[in-house]
C-alpha cells in the first residue's frame, strides 16, 4: 500500500498551545516538573525560531484552572489568544477554528494540558476537518502514564502523528546550514547534555 | 483517508459496568486499590450526572467471584441488573444484549474486571454487532500491566477506543457552562489535586 | 547490646499533623493523589478512634502554601491549631512546643508535607528534646522518592522510627477484641481490599 | 468498516508450544522465573483441559539450547514432537507445517521462547498462510521488555492477536456451566489469589 | 568495634509462620502472587528439610482474615498451631511465647503477612526478649514496597537481620556434602532456573 | 485481508548505520551504556557475518556531535561513508540515497542515534520511496523511553517494522546448519548468558 | 542514647561544589538532565542567597573531564577555585583543605559529580577530620541508582547526613519572615509547581 | 563519636572473586547481562592494574553451578584457585582462609554470585575475623533487587562497606598522575560514555 510521508514544513505549520494554565499544570504527573517546563518552553522557542503562526488558548482562566503561564504569554505577545468561555474542546470555539483557518496552513502541531482532553479532542476534530495533525507528546501532560498511553493510542489510531519537541525541531530545520547558530542555541538551551558537549569542545579548542 | 471523529454524545451513550465483584477485585493489580476504587466510582458518578442508561452485570455471584460491590448497587438502584448464570462473555447472555438494545443507543462505554476477559470479550462482540465501543481503561482492571497491554492492543486493533474516566467526562460535558457546579463537583470529589486548587482559590478570595 | 522495644501506647501518644495544606499538597509526588488522600484521612480516623491528643499546624496559610485541607479541620474541631507566622520548623514555634508538652506524653506520631522539611525538622528537634518519635511515612509526602529516601535515612539515623498508618493502627489497638466493629470499620474504610473480603464473607454467610 | 470478531473456538484451535527448552529459558527476563513457569504450565493445562491438538517443537536440543522442559513432555506424551534439525522458524520445517495442517483447524495459539524469534517468525508465516493467529503473550518470553514491545508491535501490525493464558481459557470455555469444577481447578492451580478466594469461602461455609 | 557473626544454626533455630491466611494474602502487593506463593512454600520446605521446630499462628481465622493456607497446615501437621483469639502481636499471646520458649532455642526465623504488623511486632518483641531475630523478607508480604521499606528499616535498626529464603537455606546447610540430593531438590523445586541448569546438564551427560 | 510476510532476505538487505557519533551517544538514555554498545556492535557483527552492504553516515562530525565511533569505522573500512555537510535527514543527502540505490536491494535495516530524528526521518522517507523498512530498535537510542515510544508509534503506523538485533540475526540466518560455528559465535559474543550455556555444556562434556 | 540535632546554621556552613564538569556530567544518569541542572543551580542560588562561603574545585579540567560548567563559574566569581592537578579525592589537595579551614566553619555542605567518588571520598575524609558533613543528594549525580544507593549507605554509616537542596534551604532559612521575597524567589525559580501556586494566587487576587 | 575513614590502600587490599560460575550467573537478575559482565571484568582489570593479590574460588564446579567463567581464569593464571568441595561459605574452607591470611593484608574486596550467600557469608565471617570488608556491589549479583536490598542491609549493619567498581578504582588510584594512561584505559574500556568523551576530545584536537 502506497505510503506518503507527511513531513513538517515550516511554511505549512501552525502551532496550537492549549491550556498550559497554572492550575491545570499541577495535575500533570507523567513528567517531572523541571522536565515538563523545559519541554514546553523548548516548543515555544521552536515556534519563535521558525516564525510559525502560533495560537494560544485557555479554558476558564478565572476559575481553578488558573492563568496561562506567563512565560508563554510573554513569548507570543501578538499571537491570537482565545480565552474560551466554556468549551472544553477548543475546536468547539468558533473563534479558535477561525484563527486556525486564517493561517491558511494544513499542518497542526498541538501541545497542551491535559493530553487526554485538551489535546486529544481538538486533535481528533482537526483530523476530521482534514488537517495533518502532529501532537508534541512531551510538551503535553496528564495525570499518569496509564492515561497517557490510552490517549496516545486513541489519537494514533485516528491518524494523529506522535512527535516530541526535538524531532519537531529537526524535521522543521532540515539542514544545519540553514542557521547553525540559531538551531544550536535551541539545543544548548534545552538539552543540558548537548550544552555540555559544546562546552567541552570549546574548552578543548582553546587549549 | 477520510477520518470521522466518533465523539461521545450523552444522548447516544449506554454504560456497561461488568463484573465489579468483591472477589474478582482482589485479582486487580494494574492499579493501586485506592486509585482503582476512585476511578470506578468516578465513572459511576459520571453516569449518574449525565443520566446515562446504565446496565449492571455480574458473573457467578454466589461463588468465589463474590457480590457486586455495594456502592455500585446503591448508585443504580433501578438499572437493569443481569446476574449471569454462567456466560463469561456478557454478550453471550441474551438478556444483557436485549437490555443494551432497548436503550436504542449506538455508543457503548464499557468498564469491568478483568480487562482481558470481562471487558474485552463483550467489547469485541459489540464491535461486530456494529456499536461504537469505548473502554474506560482506568475503571477496568486486571492481573498486571503486561496482561493489560496485550488486551488493550487486541481491542484497539478491533476499533475499540481507549479512554479514561476524565476524558469521558470532558467529552460528554462539552462546555463548562452546561453545569459548572455539577461538573466541578465530580472533579473535586475524584481529583484530590483539583479539589486543592479550588480550596486554595476560595481561601484567596476570602482574604 | 540490650534492645528496648519502644511500643506505641495509646495513653502515651500525641499526633502532630503538620502543614497538610492545599497548596503544598500539589508538590507531593511520591504518592498517587488518591492513595495519599486516603492515607492522611486514615491516620486522622485512627487519631479520632483512639482519642489521641492531636495538634494541627500550618505555615503561612494566606500565601501560596494555601489553607489546611478542610477534612482535617472538620475532623479535629477542638484540637490546638497553630497557624505559624513564619517558622519553617514547627518546633521553633513556642506555642506548638507548649501544646505538645501539655499533653504530658512522650511518644510523638508525626505526619506532614513535605517529608524532608516539615516532618524531618520537628522530628529531629523532638528527638533532641527526648521524645520517642514515630513518623507516619505514608501520610507524609514530598517531591519524589529520591528526596524521600534521603529524608528517611536522615531521620532513621537519628533514632526516629518509620511506620505506616496501618502499623500504627495495629500497634495501638493491640487486640481485636478491644473493639472489633470500630477497628474493622477503619480497615474497611481505608483498605478497599479488606472491605472486599468483608463483603465476600457477608455474602457467603447470607447464602 | 465492518469488523468480524475472530473468537477462539475449542473445536478450531491448535496449540503450538515452541522451543520451551531448558537452555533458552535462561534468556527469558521479561517475566520473573516463578511467574513464567506458572504461565507456561497454565497454558499446558488449558490445552489438556479442552483437549486441544497440541504440537511440540524444539530447536537444536543437543546443543546449548537444551532439552524441552520435562513437564511439557510429560503433559503431552502423544503430541507430535518435532525436534527441528536446524530451522530457526518452525514454519520452515515441513514436518511441523504438515502436523499443523493435519489438525484441520484454522486458529493457532502460539507460545514460545524467545518471543521475537521463535514465536514471531512462525506467527507471521502462519498469518501469510491464512491462519487466524493468537499469541499467548505471557507464556512467551524474551530478553527484556524493550525487545518484547517491538516484537508485539510487529506481530500486531500483521494481524496477530495478543492474548494471555487467562483470556484464552475464558474465551474457550465460554460458560462456567460447561464444567465448573474443571475450569475452577485450572484457576485455583494457577492463580494463587483465586485459590485464596475459594479457601476463604469454603471456610466461611463451614462455620 | 568487635563484631560477632550471628550465624543460623540448624540446632538453634525455630521457625515462626505468622498469619499466612487466605484473606490477608489478598492484601500482599509487594510481590507477584506466583513468586510469593513459591517463596512461602520454599521456606516451609526448608523448615521441613532441616527438621526445624516450627510454630504456626493465625489471627481471627473465622473473620475476613480467612483460614491458614492449607498447604502450610498440611506441611506441619504436628506443629504447635495457635489460633490467636484477638492479639495482633503474636508475642502478646502467652501460649505462643510459651511454645517458642519450649523449643529452647535462641534464634528465631520469622515470616508472615503483613510485614509491618504481623512480622514486625513479634520481631521487635523477641529482640527485647533477647532472641536473635531473622526475618525472611521474601516470605513476608505487605501492601506495597513503600510500606515494606519503612518496616524493614524499623526492624533493621532494632537489630533484626533481613534475610531471604535462599540465604536461609544456604546458611543452615553450610556444606553441599551434608545432603546433596535433598538440598539440590529444594533448589530445583523453587528456583526454575536452577532446575533448568540441572536439566541441561543431565541432557548433556546422556549424550 | 491478505497478509504478506516481508521477511528479511540476506540477498536483499542493506544496512544503514546513521549517526552513531561519540557526542550524540551521550544523549542516549533509553538504554544503559554497556547494553547499548553491545547492541550496536552486535548489529555490526551481523552485517559483517552475512556480508550485507552497509552504509555509514554522520552529521556534522567536526562539531559537538563528534566523530563516528571508531569501532564502526574499523569494522567497515570499505563501506560507503557519507559525512553529511548539514542534512539532518540522511535521505535528503543525494549521495546517501544514491549509495542505497546502488545496492539494488529493497529491504533496509536502519539503526541510529537518535531514534526520533536520525532513524525516523530516513525510515519514513524510505517507506515513501517504496522500500521495505526495518528498524533495529535496540541498536537505536534516544533521550528517554517516552520519546522512544512516540517515535516507534509514528514509524509503525507508517509501515516500518520494529525488530531487534537478535531477531534480525535469526531471520537472516534461517537455519543453524548454514554455519553453526559462525552464528553461535555471534550469540556467544553478544549474549553473555548464551555464552554461559555454552561454557556449562562444554564443561559437562569434558567431565 | 542522647541525640543531638546537628542543624545547619548559615553562620557555620561552607559549601563545596566538586567536579561539576561538562564531561563528567555526561556520566550522570540517576537524574534526568533537566532535573539535575535545576538542582545544581538551586543549590548555587541558595549558597548565594545566604552568602555562604563556597569553594569550587575540578579535577583534570583539560582532559576528557571537561571544564567547570560556566553557570557555576559565573555565579561565584570570587570563590576559591582549586583546579586539582591530579588528586581524585579533593581532600588530598592541601590547597582545598586549607580553603575549607580558612572559612573557620564546622559544617560542610557537599555536592558533586560523581557521588560515589568525588562526593563520598571528601565527605568521609571530612568526617574523620571532625566536620559535620551534609551531602546534597540531588545536586550530586552518578552512573545509576544502584551505585547511588551503595554510596549513600557508605556515607550514612559514616555519620554523613543526606539532605536535598530544598531541605537545605529550609533548614538554613528557618523563618519565612527573614526574607519572604528572597526565599520565595528561590522556590519559584526552581520549583515549577510552586511558581504555579504563586501565579494562580496572584491571578485570583487580581480578580 | 570519632569516626575513622577506612580507606582502600593498594598495599593492603586483597581481592576475593567468589563463585562467578557459568551456571550460577544465569540466576543473576538484579543487573542486565551486558552490564554485569562489564562490571565483573572491570573489577578484574582493576585487580590486575594495581597488582592486587587475588583469590579465586568456586563451589561445586562439576555440578549445575558450572565452571568459573573463562575470562577470569585467563586473567589470573597464577592466583590461588580454590575449588571448594562443598562449603557454601568460602570462609568455611580452610585453604581459602589460609590463602587470605598469607597475603598479610587487612582489607578485603569481595565480589561474587549470589550476593546474599556467596558474598554475604564470607563478608560477615571476615568481619568477625577482624578484617575491613568492602563489597563491590555491582560486580556481585543475585535473584532480584528485593533480595539484594536485604543482603546489603545485613552486611551494612555488620560494618561491611558497600562500594562499586568505579569507586574502588578511584580510591585505590588516588591521583591521576600516578598513571594517567593506565587508569584512563580502564575507564575507557569499561565506561562507554567516558570513551566517547575521549574520542570527541581527540577529534577536536586533530581539527
The strands making up F81-84's β-sheet, listed across from edge to edge, are F81-84, F54-59, F13-18, F107-112, F132-136, F161-163
pLDDT of res. A207: 77
CA torsion E156→E160→E166→E168, rounded to 10°? 160
pLDDT of res. F207: 77
Most E CBs within 10 Å, among C110, C136, C155, C175, to test the E interface: C175
Would you say residue G196 lies in a domain?
A: yes
Tell the burial category of D98 from Cβ atoms under 10 Å away from its Cβ (0-12, 13-18, 19+).
exposed
Bridge partner residues of E82 (DSSP): E57
Is the domain of E38 the same as that of E108?
A: yes
Would you say residue A116 lies in a domain?
A: yes
Q: How many domains does chain D have?
A: 2
**Per-residue pLDDT reduced to its tens digit, H117-134:** 999 999 999 999 999 999
**Is G187 a residue whose pLDDT tops 70?**
yes
H176 touches G: beta carbon within 8 Å: yes
- What contacts F157, CB < 8 A, 6 or more positions away? A156, A159, A161
Pick from G166, G177, G196: which is nearest to C116 by CB?
G166
- What contacts F2, CB < 8 A, 6 or more positions away? none
pLDDT of res. G103: 98
**Per-residue pLDDT reduced to its tens digit, F90-145:** 999 999 999 999 999 999 999 999 999 999 999 999 999 999 999 999 999 999 99
Which of C 50-69 lie inside 8 A of B, CB atoms? Answer: 61-62, 64, 66-67, 69
Is the domain of F149 the same as that of F198?
A: no
Residues D83 and D68: their CA atoms lie apart, in Å, by 9
Residue D64: its H or E element: none
pLDDT of res. F2: 86
Is the domain of D170 the same as that of D202?
A: no
Output the 3-class SS for G96-129.
Answer: HHHHHHHCCCCEEEEEEECHHHHHHHHHHHHHHC
How is residue D61 written as a grid cell?
536440543
F146 touches G: beta carbon within 8 Å: no
Q: Would you please indicate which residues of E are annotated as catalytic (active-site) residues?
A: 118
Bridge partner residues of A58 (DSSP): A83
Task: Say yes or no for a CB contact (<8 Å) between A200 and H200.
Answer: yes
Residues B14 and B133: their CA atoms lie apart, in Å, by 10
The model carries a pTM of 0.97
Instruction: Give the DSSP per-residue string, D123-183.
Output: HHHHHHTT-EEEEEGGG-B-S-HHHHHHHHHHHHHTTPEEE-HHHHHHHHH-BGGG-HHHH
F160, F77, F165: which is closest to F120 by C-alpha?
Answer: F160
Q: What percent of chain A has pLDDT over 90?
A: 98
Which of D 23-42 lie inside 8 A of H, CB atoms? Answer: 26, 29, 32
The helix-helix angle for H165-173 and G145-157 (nearest 10°) equals: 50
**Per-residue pLDDT reduced to its tens digit, E158-185:** 999 999 999 999 999 999 999 999 999 9
Q: Grid coordinates 507528546 are at which residue?
A: A137
pLDDT of res. D8: 98
E125, E188, E155, E182: which is closest to E10 by C-alpha?
Answer: E182
- With beta carbons less than 8 A apart as the criterion, state whether H107 and H131 touch: yes
Task: Say yes or no for a CB contact (<8 Å) between C147 and G161.
Answer: no
Task: Say yes or no for a CB contact (<8 Å) between A200 and H197.
Answer: yes
- What contacts C154, CB < 8 A, 6 or more positions away? C120, C124, G161, G162, G163
Task: Say yes or no for a CB contact (<8 Å) between E70 and D199.
Answer: yes
Query: Closest-CA residue in chain C for D207?
Result: C205
B74: closest CA of chain D, how far (Å): 24
pLDDT of res. F1: 65
Mean pLDDT of B151-163: 98
- With beta carbons less than 8 A apart as the criterion, state whether E121 and E91 touch: yes
pLDDT band at D207 (very low <50, low <70, confident <90, very high): confident
The Cβ of residue C101 has, within 10 Å, a number of other Cβ atoms equal to 11
B100, B149, B95: which is closest to B123 by C-alpha?
Answer: B100
A3 touches B: beta carbon within 8 Å: no
* CB contacts, 8 Å: D146 with chain F: 30-31, 137-138, 164
Q: Would you please indicate which residues of F are annotated as catalytic (active-site) residues?
A: 118
pLDDT band at C1 (very low <50, low <70, confident <90, very high): low
Would you say residue H6 lies in a domain?
A: no
Is the domain of G39 the same as that of G129?
A: yes
pLDDT of res. G207: 76
Task: Say yes or no for a CB contact (<8 Å) between F124 and A156.
Answer: no
Task: Say yes or no for a CB contact (<8 Å) between B26 and E26.
Answer: yes
Is the domain of H131 the same as that of H194?
A: no
Dihedral sign for Cα E160, E162, E168, E171, please: negative
Q: What percent of chain A has pLDDT over 70?
A: 100
Under DSSP, the state recorded for F119 is I
Query: Closest-CA residue in chain C for A25?
Result: C26
Is the domain of A60 the same as that of A129?
A: yes
Q: What angle do CA H143, H144, H147 make, to 5 degrees?
A: 85
Is the domain of A128 the same as that of A192?
A: no
C144 touches A: beta carbon within 8 Å: yes
Would you say residue C154 lies in a domain?
A: yes
pLDDT of res. E1: 65
Would you say residue C3 lies in a domain?
A: no
Residues G175 and G177: their CA atoms lie apart, in Å, by 5
**Residue B189, CA distances (Å) to A17, A145, B31, B173, F188 in order:** 28, 21, 19, 17, 57
pLDDT of res. H48: 98
Mean pLDDT of D93-122: 98
Task: Say yes or no for a CB contact (<8 Å) between H63 and E201.
Answer: yes
The strands making up D132-136's β-sheet, listed across from edge to edge, are D81-84, D54-59, D13-18, D107-112, D132-136, D161-163
Q: What angle do CA F190, F191, F196 make, to 5 degrees?
A: 125
- With beta carbons less than 8 A apart as the criterion, state whether D169 and D186 touch: yes
- With beta carbons less than 8 A apart as the criterion, state whether E118 and E19 touch: yes
Is the domain of F33 the same as that of F118?
A: yes
D13: closest CA of chain H, how far (Å): 35
What's the CATH code of the domain at C56?
3.40.50.850
Task: Say yes or no for a CB contact (<8 Å) between B167 and A143.
Answer: no
F130: closest CA of chain H, how far (Å): 36
Chains that touch H (3 or more CB pairs under 8 A): A, D, E, F, G
Task: Say yes or no for a CB contact (<8 Å) between E197 and H66.
Answer: yes
Would you say residue C1 lies in a domain?
A: no
Chains G and E touch (3+ CB pairs under 8 A): no
Would you say residue F108 lies in a domain?
A: yes
Residues C65 and C47: their CA atoms lie apart, in Å, by 25
Is the domain of B120 the same as that of B139?
A: yes
Nearest-Å Rg of the Cα atoms of chain H is 17
**Is H207 a residue whose pLDDT tops 90?**
no
Q: How many CA atoms lie within 13 A of B133 on its CB side?
A: 27
Residues C112 and B123: their CA atoms lie apart, in Å, by 44
Under DSSP, the state recorded for H86 is S
Pick from A4, A171, A176: which is nearest to F121 by CB?
A171
In this prediction, the residues of chain E whose per-residue pLDDT falls under 50 are none
Output the 3-class SS for chain B.
Answer: CCCCCCCCCCCCEEEEEECCEHHHHCCCCCCCHHHHHHHHHHHHHHHHHCCCCEEEEEECCCCCCCCECHHHHHHCCCCCEEEECCECCHHHCHHHHHHHHHCCCCEEEEEEECHHHHHHHHHHHHHHCCCEEEEEHHHCECCCHHHHHHHHHHHHHCCCEEECHHHHHHHHHCEHHHCHHHHHHHHHHHCHHHHHHHHHHHHHHHC
How is residue F168 written as a grid cell?
534480525
Residues G84 and G91: their CA atoms lie apart, in Å, by 10
pLDDT band at H1 (very low <50, low <70, confident <90, very high): low
**Per-residue pLDDT reduced to its tens digit, G58-96:** 999 989 999 999 999 999 999 999 999 999 999 999 999
- With beta carbons less than 8 A apart as the criterion, state whether B14 and B107 touch: yes
Task: Say yes or no for a CB contact (<8 Å) between D5 and B127.
Answer: yes
The Cβ of residue G195 has, within 10 Å, a number of other Cβ atoms equal to 23
Is the domain of B131 the same as that of B94?
A: yes
Residues G93 and G19: their CA atoms lie apart, in Å, by 14
Query: Closest-CA residue in chain E for H91?
Result: E174
Q: Grid coordinates 502543614 are at which residue?
A: C19
**Is C2 a residue whose pLDDT tops 90?**
no
Bridge partner residues of B107 (DSSP): B13, B132
pLDDT band at B57 (very low <50, low <70, confident <90, very high): very high
Would you say residue F116 lies in a domain?
A: yes
D23: closest CA of chain F, how far (Å): 7
B53 carries an active-site annotation: no
For E181, the domain range is 177-207
Instruction: Give the DSSP per-residue string, A55-117.
Output: EEEEE-TTSTT-PBPHHHHHH-TTS-EEEESSBSSGGG-HHHHHHHHHTT-SEEEEEEBSIII
pLDDT band at B2 (very low <50, low <70, confident <90, very high): confident
Query: Closest-CA residue in chain C for G159?
Result: C157
Most F CBs within 10 Å, among D22, D28, D64, to test the F interface: D64
How is residue B74 written as a grid cell?
446503591
C196, F146, C199, B37: which is closest to E25 by C-alpha?
Answer: C196
Residues H109 and H169: their CA atoms lie apart, in Å, by 11
Number of helices (H) and strands (E), helices first, in chain E?
9, 6
- With beta carbons less than 8 A apart as the criterion, state whether E68 and E44 touch: no
Is the domain of E142 the same as that of E193?
A: no
The helix-helix angle for D192-206 and E33-49 (nearest 10°) equals: 70
Q: What percent of chain C has pLDDT over 70?
A: 100
Pick from A162, A175, A180: which is nearest to F150 by CB?
A162
- What contacts H178, CB < 8 A, 6 or more positions away? G86
Is the domain of F27 the same as that of F75?
A: yes
Most G CBs within 10 Å, among F22, F25, F26, F30, to test the G interface: F26
**Per-residue pLDDT reduced to its tens digit, B137-150:** 999 999 999 999 99
From B40, B42, B118, B123, the catalytic residue: B118
**Per-residue pLDDT reduced to its tens digit, D38-87:** 999 999 999 999 999 999 999 999 899 999 999 999 999 999 999 999 99
Amino acid at each position: 500500500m502506497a505510503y506518503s510521508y507527511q513531513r513538517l514544513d515550516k511554511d505549512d505549520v501552525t502551532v496550537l498551545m492549549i491550556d498550559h494554565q497554572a492550575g491545570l499544570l499541577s495535575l500533570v504527573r507523567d513528567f517531572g516538573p523541571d522536565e515538563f517546563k523545559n519541554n514546553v518552553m523548548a516548543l515555544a522557542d521552536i515556534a519563535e525560531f521558525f516564525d510559525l503562526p502560533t495560537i494560544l488558548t485557555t479554558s476558564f482562566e478565572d476559575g481553578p484552572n488558573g492563568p496561562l503561564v506567563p512565560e508563554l504569554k510573554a513569548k507570543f505577545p501578538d499571537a491570537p489568544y482565545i480565552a474560551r468561555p466554556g468549551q472544553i474542546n477548543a475546536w468547539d470555539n468558533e473563534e479558535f477554528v477561525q484563527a486556525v483557518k486564517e493561517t491558511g496552513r494544513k499542518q497542526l502541531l498541538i501541545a497542551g494540558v491535559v493530553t487526554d482532553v485538551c489535546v486529544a479532542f481538538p486533535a481528533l476534530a482537526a483530523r476530521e476537518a482534514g488537517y495533518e495533525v502532529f501532537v508534541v507528546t512531551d510538551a503535553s501532560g496528564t495525570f499518569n502514564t496509564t492515561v497517557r498511553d490510552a490517549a496516545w493510542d486513541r489519537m494514533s489510531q485516528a491518524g494523529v502523528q506522535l512527535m516530541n519537541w526535538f524531532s519537531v525541531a529537526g524535521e522543521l530545520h532540515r539542514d544545519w546550514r540553514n542557521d547553525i547558530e540559531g538551531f544550536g542555541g535551541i539545543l544548548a538551551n534545552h538539552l543540558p547534555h548537548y550544552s555540555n558537549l559544546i562546552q567541552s569542545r570549546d574548552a578543548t579548542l582553546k587549549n
